[in-house]
A and B are shown apart, each in its own frame.
Chain A
Amino acid sequence: MGGSAQGGHSIADYVAGYTDLGRLRGFRCPCGFTTATWVLACPRCGGRNLADVDLSGRGEVVACSVQHVPSDEFLNEVPYAYVVVDLGEGGRITGWVAGVADPADLPLGTRVHFHPSYKPGVQFVRD
């Protein structure tokens, strides 16, 4: 699936990427800003020369919270950890780790990687 006339991949491409193709798609700006979030211009510098990239999905947990009160898509997943992951190549993405009840089981600094699954969202597992 190609991008639109302006910019790179669509949000639907991003979702199809992680659900069906094992790909985590994102954007990288020459200024260094890297994100999975869909944008047409860089939110840091305003530049429009964004490269359409595949993110490694490997990195380190830098923020984490164990969820006990879910929204509807995660009704059957609690408790789980919602995480912010610092990617090795720069940039951060969010996702979740299944089966975490105690925050001590997933301390900040834990290394994780993207684990394609049939479940909702971007799922990570420990390295």
Chain B
Amino acid sequence: MRETWIVGAATNRFGRMAESAREAAARVALEAIDRAGLTPKDIDHTFVSNAFGMAEHQGHLGPLLNTALGIPEVPSCTIESACSSSSAGLHEAFVHVAGGFADAVLVVGAEKLSHLDTLTATSYFATGADFPFETRNGATFPGLYATLASAYRNAFPLPPETLAQVAIKNHANAALNPHAHFQKEISLETYLNSPIVASPFRLYDCCPFSDGASAIVVAAKEFVRRPTSTPLVVAASVRTGSIVDMHDRPDLWGLPASRRAGELAFRAAGLTPKEIDFLEVHDCFTIAELLALEDLGFYPRGAAGAATRDGETARKGRLPVNPSGGLKAKGHPVSATGVAQVVEVFEQMNGTAGARAVARTETALTHNVGATGGSCSVHIFRRG
């Protein structure tokens, strides 16, 4: 296997885009390629994700993107894995580069959803669950994670307002992130005054519907002679799957795909959770951040809530979690999210994270979940 690097990364500001996903994807792609010190002609393959292209009546985004970049002859394909789409694209890029099938691969995720009303967006998102066996029975995405929260809290009671602490922390991080959808802190009072979406979740337990686009360039170490930024070494790139229907799994206290992805990734990287400096995890809902920290082995089952309340996962804590603001507050333009997590690692390791910089940046982990864990990606990076 060849040593594989992330050599360039770019994202736009999440939230509301005036332009289409197609235009935003091309813009961030060019920026990432420029930052890598490469040109579009160096790209051997493009993996693009745009899970809700139907919202803009546009499929087959890859060749449109490559055409806009002046490389229409370069092969491309769309990778769909619900909310883990672009980290699945990164994994495909890793396989190509590490295996010697490509020297430089572009991975892009883009989504435009803000023109949809709440009902339409909720209905589109619900297609990522099992339509006849979950959605038709009344499930929505907030509802599915909320049922996980109800079962988890029944087995491992959380002190009051623990979920709120996750939201407050991630909003505080996003307040310092110029790429974030919500660049504002929230108080416990704001949280408690927000409406219930799906009990026990209030508005501030949920990630928003965001527009956004993010891109990275994945390349072989031997291809990039003089990197223009500090590259990220891909120490592990793991994908896992599990039964889609949560209720058909052995328990409801976490995501089996995350557990397995964590184990496999730590084994591949030859590291343990104690050796990771900071992480970006899939906090689509507040409970999901706690489940992720436990599934990935950072805390025993039932212990992530207390650690959050003690400030361990804050930006200046022992283990910074979601210094970007996470899906909760940086935003969740579904297909951009997986790559955006890597952009955050890139900026942190390059010292360009500004006010939200974390103290130690030698190693980092990204965790990206497809829907309720039918798919999962875990990547571990070392500073190159």
Residues of A within 8 A of B (CB): 11, 14-15, 35-38, 43, 62-75, 77, 80, 82-84, 91-96, 103, 108, 120-122
Query: What residues of chain A lie closer than 8 Å to B154, measured between beta carbons?
Result: 63, 108
Instruction: Give the distance to chain B from A95, nearest Cβ to Cβ, in Å.
Output: 5
Query: What residues of chain A lie closer than 8 Å to B271, measured between beta carbons?
Result: none
> In the complex, which of the residues A36, A62, A65, A74 contacts B199, with contact meaning CB atoms closer than 8 Å?
A65
Query: Of B86-94, B243-251, B258-266, B353-361, which binds chain A?
Result: B243-251
Establish whether residues A71 and B119, one from each chain, have CB atoms under 8 Å apart when the complex forms.
yes
Query: What residues of chain A lie closer than 8 Å to B196, measured between beta carbons?
Result: 66, 68
Q: Is the interface of B mostly helix, strand, loop or mixed?
A: helix
Assembled-state Cα–Cα distance A84/B251 (Å): 12
In the assembled complex, B130 has its CB within 8 A of some CB on chain A: yes
Establish whether residues A43 and B248, one from each chain, have CB atoms under 8 Å apart when the complex forms.
yes
> In the complex, which of the residues B136, B143, B146 contacts A120, with contact meaning CB atoms closer than 8 Å?
B136
Establish whether residues B136 and A70, one from each chain, have CB atoms under 8 Å apart when the complex forms.
no
> In the complex, which of the residues A69, A121, A122 contacts B198, with contact meaning CB atoms closer than 8 Å?
A69
Query: What residues of chain A lie closer than 8 Å to B146, measured between beta carbons?
Result: 65, 82
Establish whether residues B247 and A84, one from each chain, have CB atoms under 8 Å apart when the complex forms.
yes
Instruction: Give the distance to chain A from B171, nearest Cβ to Cβ, in Å.
Output: 20
Assembled-state Cα–Cα distance A64/B138 (Å): 11
Establish whether residues A71 and B148, one from each chain, have CB atoms under 8 Å apart when the complex forms.
no
Establish whether residues A69 and B137, one from each chain, have CB atoms under 8 Å apart when the complex forms.
no
Instruction: Give the distance to chain A from B299, nearest Cβ to Cβ, in Å.
Output: 22
Assembled-state Cα–Cα distance A42/B151 (Å): 24
Establish whether residues B119 and A68, one from each chain, have CB atoms under 8 Å apart when the complex forms.
no
Establish whether residues A93 and B123, one from each chain, have CB atoms under 8 Å apart when the complex forms.
no
Establish whether residues A94 and B119, one from each chain, have CB atoms under 8 Å apart when the complex forms.
no
> In the complex, which of the residues A62, A74, A80, A93 contacts B252, with contact meaning CB atoms closer than 8 Å?
A62
The 5 closest A-B pairs by CB, nearest first: A65-B146, A96-B138, A63-B147, A121-B137, A63-B151
Assembled-state Cα–Cα distance A11/B135 (Å): 14
Establish whether residues B119 and A72, one from each chain, have CB atoms under 8 Å apart when the complex forms.
yes
A-B contact pairs, 15 of them (CB 8 A): A37-B245, A38-B133, A62-B151, A63-B247, A66-B198, A66-B199, A71-B122, A71-B140, A82-B147, A93-B247, A94-B133, A95-B138, A96-B137, A108-B150, A108-B154
Establish whether residues A65 and B118, one from each chain, have CB atoms under 8 Å apart when the complex forms.
no
Assembled-state Cα–Cα distance A108/B150 (Å): 8
